[in-house]
Amino acid sequence: MRFAQLISRKTVLILGAGASQPYGFPLGRQLLNQICLQLSPENRENDHHKVLRDLGHTPNDIETFRDALRFTDYNSVDEFLEYDPNLMDIGKHAIASALIPYEDEKLLFPPHTKGDHWYKLLADALDIRSKSVYDNQVSVLTFNYDRSLEVYLFTVIHERSECSVTEAIEILQSIPIIHLYGDLGQFGCTNQDAQKYSPDLKTARVKAGAESMKIIHESEDQTPEFDQGVELLEQAECIYFLGFGYHPTNVRRLRVFNSEWDEERKLRQVVKGTILKIENQEWGTIVDKVFHGNINGRQHKGDCSSFLRTFAQLS
């Protein structure tokens, strides 16, 4: 579909790891494998080992964490830490250390962007050059730690509008982007406490990123971030899941799907999403057991871009 300028319907995008994958970030299992390799004995002199040692973890601590992560063989590092919270500190440091090198701005723009460049589709729908950009009715709830979406939108706003850095940040902040489990450090070019979007692996950045992160196990159902997200979901006309894995705990914490909606609400609120790599039988179980039947829109087995073009109503 061709997007009309300005998103006038109240729309909430809910992002999972698959939404950041087109911009170089690994999925849960890929991240787990990567950390195991980075912390292997033959790589003990690499930057990841050095950062963890600088943060107070001994070589024995690193070996214990790596072996536990390998041999318990969970689907993700987050899931592993949910069941072994005693390794939470080193686990968070390892996650931040593995993800920060992917915060590379050049991967967000040509010539490095791939076919699933859905950030551009969103930016095109925002009517960035007009003062009406402040009237957009879109919000983003993300379960990801990276800040790639904020950096992309900030840069495009700044360049397309030819506005100042301060004005670009003001426009960006008019679009709620809520990291439900924290992030790799606050992004904001005018904030002294902000963490630069950069692939440079430094101990201070890893420490700041880890301190901002929350693992599923240690997060509560009612946090300020989830409360704000639930309020946006209650008011939304369109709810779109992009690159989402539909983990039962994550959906439960969104709260609005925890009991079956009446027919009036199902007509008032459209729920759609990508279901790439999810088989039909598995999806049926998710609809019944996780969403309590509150899925009333067609789902899509393609990527985020093709979903937005085919099914989303960004107008």
The per-residue pLDDT string of the chain (315 residues; one tens digit each, 9 = 90 and over) reads 344 445 888 999 999 999 999 999 999 999 999 999 999 999 999 999 999 999 999 999 999 999 999 999 998 998 899 888 899 999 999 999 999 999 999 999 999 998 899 999 999 988 887 777 888 899 999 999 999 999 999 999 999 988 898 899 999 999 999 999 999 987 765 555 567 899 999 999 999 999 988 876 665 677 899 999 999 999 999 999 999 999 998 999 999 999 999 999 988 999 999 998 888 889 999 999 999 998 876 678 889 999 998 887 665
CA angle (250 as vertex; 184, 95 as ends), nearest 5:
30
pTM: 0.93
Please give the structure tokens belonging to residue 209: 């990123």
Give start-end residues of each CATH 3.40.50 domain in the chain.
1-24+107-315
User: Which helix (H) or strand (E) is 219 found in, with range?
Assistant: none
- At 313 the pLDDT is 67
For 112-139, how does the pLDDT look when each residue is reduced to its tens digit (9 = 90+)? 998 899 999 999 988 887 777 888 899 9
Q: How far is CA 167 from the centre of its chain?
A: 25
**Rounded Cα gap, residues 75 and 221, in angstroms:** 22
pLDDT of residue 216: 67
CATH 3.40.50, applies to 1-24+107-315: yes
